Amino acid sequence: MTRTHWLIFICGSLIAFVWEIFQMPFFKPGNLETYEQTIRCGIASLGDGVILLTAYSLAALRGGHAWPWQSDKLPYAIYFGFGLVVAIAVEMIATSLPANSFLSWRYSDLMPHEPVTGLALIPIAMWTIVPALTILLIRFARVEPD
């Protein structure tokens, strides 16, 4: 793995962790203590980092590893599109599992939903904002493409 791969994973996971913590009011905590919620957010953010890393790598197949510093739009579409597809799939699976499963979650009444499909909007927003912030941070850090 290159330095850019590591930075995508580390920065993306940290940004995702902050997002995961702040979106907690939109989820039902069940019988979890605060520290258990934090652990779940940490695990989820590492998974988010893996998704970001995979999305970056898939985009690199089309645009090379320097695609975040170039203007070709297709790698960006692959990067964001992959994250959105995985996010939608994960949300659909996790909310359909039994409520007491470790891999499931439920939404609180605060969660906004898309009216036609019923998809939760906060997790979908995450997969547009967190990947964008990750790329911006990598660019801002002036990391040269590997």
- How many structural domains does the chain have? 1
SS3 readout for 60-78: HHHHCCCHHHCCCHHHHHH
Q: What is the pTM of this model?
A: 0.90
The range of the structural domain enclosing residue 82 comes to 3-140
Whole-angstrom Cα Rg for the chain: 16
Model pLDDT for residues 32-73, shown as the tens digit of each residue: 788 888 998 999 999 999 999 999 999 999 999 889 988 899
Cα distance between residue 13 and residue 17, in whole Å: 6
Structure tokens at 51: 């998704």
Distance CA 37, CA 41 (A): 6
State the chain's maximal CA–CA distance in angstroms: 48
Residue 145 lies in a domain: no
Q: What is the pLDDT of residues 91-120, one digit of tens each?
A: 999 989 988 787 888 899 999 999 998 889
